[in-house]
Structures are given as structure tokens and as C-alpha cells.
């Protein structure tokens, strides 16, 4: 019943946008972008924090329009920064955290814009990378670990911002081509060609780049530091081929193919391989 309701909701929204685009094209594109960029899950309140985040030192940072929330597990001078994905929050790292703590490192995790306890409602890779940069300037991490869109944001950050202390990156189930993400959204809502073109124009104008040039695999060609890329062949959220493309472009990266873990990639063997890769 929930799937049917979701199907009917998405199709009705798409039908309305397909009609509106003929009379108010810019307004229709703006609405479609807002629906695309505003997470519906992943937010938290101080009263419903998962146990893993309770009684953990935290810090709020000014990120321009909004504040961002970070959590700190103190350790030695080596700093690992954790970057979660779409409609998630810092608690997604609960199972990996013990493996990272065994390295003795200081671990920092941030909530993305519109997620966890961070402010804002708009979420995209570029805005996320700017949030990451606020934390990077404060803590100067040696390692970035990103999942899904968080992985794409880590790649974008490293190639568009400065971080001289970064030594390694771990990318888990990250998408490569933004064009594919947008195509999936268009398909979900059954948007017509005119609506699709208006939405593409809206994105291009907003980010001052053609959307077909926004590619993690293209950005990864510039990365010199060692990387570990993990992607599952049964990932039904981000195509396995996206992980392969990023790995093929990143000259100094190891690629681990898993099966049966899906998009979450929660697995003890994966955690052990991450810890071994970090070598801390």
C-alpha cells in the first residue's frame, strides 16, 4: 500500500509539473528543483538522537546561510572526517566507528545541510562540499570517508577546494554522473521533455556549469592521493558502473567489488579493509 501511495504521489506531482511548464516554465523548474534537493528523511531533533550520538561532544559551525553540526570522538593527531549521504545523518557510521577508533585517530563526523541537526533545507554536492570545507579548515583531516552523495561531495571538495593535509580518501557507493541522477528523477516523476529541458537549464544556471560536465569520474582524474573505492554489484540506488568509472579515472585508487551488501555497504569485512587501507 505504501509503494502504491508513493507511486501515485510521484506521478501526480509529475503530471502537475508537466502542465505548469507550458504556462510558468521557470516556476515549474524551480518547484521541481526544490523537490529534488530537499531531503524528506534524515533530520533529527535533540530529543530523538540515536544512542550513538548521545553524550558525544559536538560543535556547531557557521556555514554562511545556516549552521552545521559536527560530532567529535577524540583521539590522536590523525583526523578522519566522515561524510554521510542523502537522507541520512552521522548515526549511519555507528558500525564503522569502532574499527576507526581502533586506529587511535580523532574522528569527526558532520551532518549535511538539511540532515541530522544541521540547518538548511537545500542539499546538493556543491553546497555539501562548502560545508565540508568549513570543517576541513577547522580540523585539517588526514582522511575523508564519504558514502553515496557524501562520497561525490568528497571528490568534488578535494578537486575544487584546498586541503593540504589530506592523505587518503575512502569512497563508498558514490554516484559518478549527475546526468544519470537527474534522469532517474525525471523518470520517477514521468516528466515530459519540455519539463526536463527547463529543469536542466535551471541546474546549469544555478551552478554555472553544464550538467553533463558534472562528473565524479572526471573530477577523480585530478586526484593524486591514494583512494579506496567500494561499490556493490547489487546496489539498487547507485549503479555499480558508477563506482567502476570513478575507479578507472582515479590512477592511485584501489577498487573493491562486493555482492549482496546493497547501497549501505555495512559489512565487517569492508570495515576491516578500510582500516587496513588507512594503515594508521
Q: How far is CA 127 from CA 183, 206, 252, in A?
A: 21, 11, 27
Is residue 12 within 8 A of residue 20, CB to CB? The reply is: no
pLDDT of residue 61: 87
Question: Around Cβ 84, how many Cβ atoms within 10 Å?
Answer: 27
Question: Around Cβ 50, how many Cβ atoms within 10 Å?
Answer: 13
| Strands, sheet with 79-83, edge to edge from the N-terminal-most edge strand | 58-62, 67-73, 106-110, 79-83, 143-147, 168-172, 227-232, 253-258
DSSP letter assigned to residue 76:
S
In DSSP terms, which residues pair with 241 in a beta bridge?
none
User: C-alpha cell of 213?
Assistant: 560536465
Is residue 252 within 8 A of residue 225, CB to CB? The reply is: yes
CA distance 107 to 274: 14
Q: What residue has cell string 555499480?
A: 240
pLDDT of residue 8: 72
Query: Both ends of the chain: CA-CA distance in Å?
Result: 48
User: C-alpha cell of 197?
Assistant: 529541458
pLDDT of residue 65: 78
pLDDT of residue 63: 80
Closest CA to 113 of 38, 49, 45: 38
Q: How far is CA 113 from CA 24, 42, 85, 220, in A?
A: 29, 10, 11, 24
Is residue 21 within 8 A of residue 192, CB to CB? The reply is: yes
Question: Which string of DSSP letters, residue by residue, matches 99-155?
Answer: HHHTTT-EEEEEPPTTSBT---S---HHHHHHHHHHHHHHH--SEEEEETHHHHHHH
pLDDT of residue 1: 61
Which pairs with CB-CB distance under 8 Å and at least 24 residues apart come from 23-28?
A: 25/194, 25/198, 26/198, 26/202, 28/195, 28/198
pLDDT tens-place values along the chain, 280 residues long? 666 676 677 889 999 999 999 999 999 999 999 999 999 889 999 988 999 999 999 999 888 778 899 999 999 999 999 999 999 999 999 999 999 999 999 999 999 999 999 999 999 999 999 999 999 999 999 999 999 999 999 999 999 998 889 999 999 999 999 988 898 899 989 999 999 999 999 999 988 888 888 999 999 999 999 999 999 999 999 999 999 999 999 999 999 999 999 999 999 999 999 999 998 7
Question: What does the domain layout of the chain look like in residue ranges?
Answer: 1-37+178-214, 52-176+216-280
Name the maximum alpha-carbon separation found in the chain.
59
What is the radius of gyration, based on Cα positions, of the chain? Answer: 19
Q: Tell me the CATH architecture of domain 52-176+216-280.
A: 3-Layer(aba) Sandwich (3.40)
pLDDT of residue 48: 87
CA distance 87 to 69: 15
CA distance 261 to 13: 32
Amino acid at each position: 500500500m505504501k509503494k502504491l501511495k508513493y507511486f501515485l504521489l510521484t506521478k501526480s506531482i509529475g503530471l502537475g509539473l508537466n502542465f505548469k511548464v507550458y504556462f510558468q516554465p521557470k516556476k515549474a523548474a524551480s518547484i521541481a528543483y526544490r523537490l529534488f534537493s530537499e531531503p524528506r528523511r534524515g533530520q533529527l531533533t535533540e530529543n530523538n538522537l540515536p544512542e550513538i550520538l548521545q553524550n558525544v561532544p559536538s560543535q556547531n559551525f557557521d556555514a554562511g546561510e545556516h549552521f552545521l553540526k559536527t560530532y567529535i570522538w577524540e583521539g590522536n593527531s590523525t583526523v578522519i572526517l566522515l561524510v554521510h549521504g542523502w537522507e541520512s545523518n552521522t548515526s549511519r557510521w555507528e558500525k564503522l566507528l569502532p574499527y576507526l577508533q581502533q586506529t587511535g585517530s580523532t574522528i569527526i563526523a558532520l551532518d549535511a545541510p538539511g540532515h541530522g541537526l544541521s540547518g538548511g533545507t537545500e542539499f546538493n554536492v556543491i553546497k555539501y562540499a562548502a560545508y565540508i570545507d568549513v570543517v576541513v579548515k577547522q580540523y585539517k583531516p588526514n582522511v575523508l570517508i564519504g558514502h553515496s552523495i557524501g562520497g561525490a561531495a568528497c571528490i568534488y571538495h578535494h578537486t575544487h577546494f584546498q586541503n593540504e593535509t589530506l592523505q587518503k580518501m575512502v569512497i563508498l557507493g558514490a554516484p559518478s554522473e549527475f546526468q544519470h541522477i537527474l534522469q532517474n528523477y525525471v523518470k520517477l516523476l514521468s516528466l515530459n521533455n519540455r519539463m526536463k529541458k527547463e529543469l536542466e537549464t535551471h541546474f546549469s544556471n544555478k551552478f554555472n556549469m553544464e550538467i553533463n560536465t558534472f562528473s565524479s569520474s572526471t573530477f577523480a582524474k585530478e586526484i593524486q592521493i591514494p583512494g579506496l573505492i567500494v561499490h556493490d554489484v547489487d546496489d539498487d540506488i547507485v549503479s555499480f558502473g558508477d563506482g567502476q568509472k570513478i575507479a578507472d579515472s582515479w590512477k592511485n585508487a584501489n577498487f573493491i567489488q562486493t555482492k549482496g551488501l546493497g547501497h549501505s555497504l555495512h559489512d565487517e569485512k569492508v570495515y576491516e579493509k578500510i582500516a587496513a587501507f588507512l594503515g594508521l
